[in-house]
A and B are shown apart, each in its own frame.
Chain A
């Protein structure tokens, strides 16, 4: 017999039995939770609701913990299992219920992903689905595990053969323990066979963001299923284990999921991407409060994507614009760009549409078209691409594509083809490659990097699409050593992105002169520096005004009024600070202007001195 039993610390058989029962509850719960709690990963949306931490559940230590010895089953550490199982409070007579709930993420207002998944469930979504306003209720119990100790039917003289054979209660205990061990073995296999495990696996294995999550719950009050719900579910009851004075029962009610493998991952991917790129637009606002940012302004995207992983963004930020977010697959974009019918169907610019409406609009479109090559996504992308070419420093690698580019970019008047045309010739002329080149053109290198990443993840079969080979093919295009795998971008964003978004922002704000600041700053300049510069430029009054103020103050140093003096300081500061921007206007010019003003001022002053009191000077 296992040594663990001997360590139970109690002499009486019933106490031992009780402990076995208790440990059986704990182990069952552990097995269920461990296989239903997706690892807390940065890729999972709502990390705060995850019960298990990835670090603990994914790593299996080699040492044997005392609890592992129970039923000879060493499980991965899952603290949630023990937390939910309130050791002190729970009596073994109380049934233990674990609901495995599929929860749609609260921010997933469009429910495409969920539907795609859920329609595979025999039962469909719960009635809560109708309450679109109450998104937190978008959840469905897909499994209910019930572990209970049934001591109503006391079977004193055990009926089993083995019990008959051995009369001593100790051997009865042994038999009970063995059977419980066997039951837990099959539970362990069972949890992996049920449909929910496929979801669990999907949530864990792929790098995608899902609009739903799997949450195991141990409710204190169990709402019984309606008859209809119960009819929709299948039931599996493990054969109860006879104990000294009762039975250990374990059963599961579960929804069947027909053929998850081929259906659910494919159509969902584009949905995820929607949020993935599009949603976060607020952080730049925090960074540069002085900037009037236009939502849906594409240059901001590089900022957001990194943050789109984080949960708080969804609470904090107004949903910026789904319309500019949908990230089409690479080929989609390419198709949209090359084939004019698509690009002609440009929707109104994101900025023109109120956010909410835009969202709806996109959802509708998504539903209308088959996701993998959804024209809607491509169209939005085109919009974005075009807008971006207006402002972003893009590289045009392929002069040979100019004709196409011109067609595509027709709506954008500010396109500067000539500036970039000299950059890189495209080496290959394959369709995909040219798509890449186009994309490079439209998005600029950095953005292309992102979009290629997006494309990879939105591919119909995620696992395959993550393969590096696909990204490598684009990498070859670039001749860049530092071109990382799409998902490596996350990390180097932190250090690298500073220069880019900064310049984008400036562009969005100050149309013309900003090229110079962005150019004059070293590539590795810090966010702060860029931000400071931007705000300085923003605050800086026009040159003429500055000079006049300065002029006045210089000439009124003797007067009591302090305001002009302050103005002078500010102006001087701003002049020096924005020197870069003003550099084009030479100092000589400025001085000359200044001199002329001086003269004007002198004339005015002399006039006012003659006519009225010196008060007038303040008004000039």
Chain B
């Protein structure tokens, strides 16, 4: 099965924004792949004037929150890095059972890459001395913060549009709707889940290659 991949636009976020941004993106993706009978739930972001939609399944919410927490705690240990979160949708196919293998195989049909550039919370512009920072007008600082926030809001909105466009353009690879299945099974891969040099290398390679088809 062909695996469609969507690389989402990179977002520059501060660590305190990660949770909202990721929730918004992850839920929006999963909502588009929750093709069973759902009762959508509108969620207004607190940091941004954006409303996103959840599919209303508690397990999904739990799973997403869990992964986000994992990712955030990893980020705390590895600050100021560009990194990716991957959402992979798969179908479960059980292989022909043999003597030693009674495996359930995952067949991935779609992957979404969320690209985040996590900024240091108190990031001082390069070239500015400590003095210069002190001189800086607090109003100016807040203005800067506001403009950055506005920019992130716009970018986040763009990412959501990107999701919608992708969902619209690529429909054929989506497996048929099965009765009783609320959402397509998915997994969320964060850097933390492969917290090793090897894992990091893998992620870096994925970043550069853009279309990692090794999971497909």
Contact = CB atoms under 8 A, between A and B. Distances in A.
Interface string A159-173: 011100000000000
Interface string A248-274: 000000000001111000000000000
B118 to A, nearest CB: 24
A185 B44 contact: no
A190 B171 CA distance: 17
B171 A239 contact: yes
Given A73-B38, A74-B37, A178-B35, A201 B171 contact: no
Given A3-B179, A193-B160, A239-B168, A188 B53 contact: yes
A229 B53 CA distance: 31
A74 B38 contact: yes
Contacts of B164: 186, 189-190, 193
A2 B176 contact: no
B160 to A, nearest CB: 6
B150 interface: yes
B168 A174 contact: no
Most-contacted residue by chain B among A190, A193, A260 (CB, 10 A): A193
Interface stretch (A64-72, A214-222, A428-436, A610-618): A64-72
Nearest to A62: B39
B50 interface: yes
B28 A189 contact: yes
A307 B162 CA distance: 47
Interface residues of A, number: 38
Interface in B14-38: 28, 31-32, 34-38
A246 to B, nearest CB: 17
Contact of A72 (B37, B146, B169): B37
A474 B31 CA distance: 46
A74 B36 CA distance: 10
Given A64-B37, A72-B177, A74-B37, A182 B42 contact: no
B176 A178 contact: yes
Interface in A161-207: 161-162, 174-175, 177-179, 181-183, 185-186, 188-190, 192-193, 197-198, 201
A60 interface: yes
Contacts of B40: 73-75, 188
B49 interface: yes
Given A186-B164, A239-B168, A239-B171, A2 B177 contact: yes
Contacts of B167: 182, 185-186
Interface residues of B, number: 34
B157 A181 contact: no
Interface in B152-199: 153, 157, 160-161, 163-164, 167-169, 171-172, 174, 176-177, 179
Contact of B157 (A174, A193, A201): A193
A193 B153 CA distance: 11
A252 to B, nearest CB: 11
Contacts of A183: 168
Interface string A1-34: 1110000000000000000000000000000000
Contact of A182 (B32, B44, B53): B32
B161 to A, nearest CB: 7
Given A178-B174, A183-B168, A192 B32 contact: no
Mostly, the A contact residues are: helix
Contact of A186 (B32, B42, B52, B150): B32
Contacts of A179: 171
Nearest to A181: B35
B146 to A, nearest CB: 8
A182 B168 CA distance: 8
B53 A72 contact: no
B37 A68 contact: yes
B24 to A, nearest CB: 11
Contacts of B171: 178-179, 182, 239
Interface string A68-94: 110011110000000000000000000
A192 B42 contact: yes
Nearest to A241: B171
Given A185-B167, A189-B160, A193-B160, A261 B38 contact: no
A193 B38 CA distance: 20
Interface in A137-162: 160-162
B120 interface: no
Nearest to B27: A189
Contacts of A190: 164
A20 B169 CA distance: 21
A197 B38 CA distance: 22
Contacts, number: 91
A238 interface: yes
B176 A72 contact: no
B42 A1 contact: no
B51 interface: yes
Contacts of A186: 32, 164, 167-168
Contacts of A174: 176-177
B184 to A, nearest CB: 11
A60 B39 contact: yes
Nearest to A180: B171
B49 A72 contact: no
Given A1-B177, A193-B157, A193-B161, A201 B168 contact: no
A72 B52 contact: no
Contacts of A193: 50-51, 157, 160-161, 164
A289 to B, nearest CB: 49
Contact of A192 (B53, B177, B179): B53
A72 B35 contact: yes
Contacts of A259: 150
A40 B136 CA distance: 48
Contacts of A188: 31, 40, 53
Contacts of A181: 35, 177
Given A162-B172, A190-B164, A185 B32 contact: yes
B175 to A, nearest CB: 9
Nearest to A74: B39
A182 B52 contact: no
27 contacts: A1-B176, A68-B37, A73-B37, A73-B40, A74-B38, A161-B172, A162-B172, A174-B176, A178-B171, A178-B176, A179-B171, A182-B35, A182-B171, A185-B32, A185-B34, A185-B35, A188-B31, A189-B32, A189-B53, A190-B164, A192-B42, A193-B164, A198-B49, A201-B51, A239-B168, A261-B153, A262-B150
Q: Which 5 pairs between the two chains have the least Cβ-Cβ distance?
A: A239-B168, A261-B49, A74-B39, A72-B37, A192-B51
Interface of A: 1-3, 60, 64, 68-69, 72-75, 160-162, 174-175, 177-179, 181-183, 185-186, 188-190, 192-193, 197-198, 201, 238-239, 259-262
Given A185-B32, A201-B44, 20 more contacts: A60-B39, A72-B37, A73-B38, A161-B172, A162-B172, A178-B176, A178-B177, A182-B167, A185-B31, A188-B40, A189-B28, A189-B52, A190-B164, A193-B51, A193-B157, A193-B164, A197-B51, A198-B49, A239-B169, A261-B153
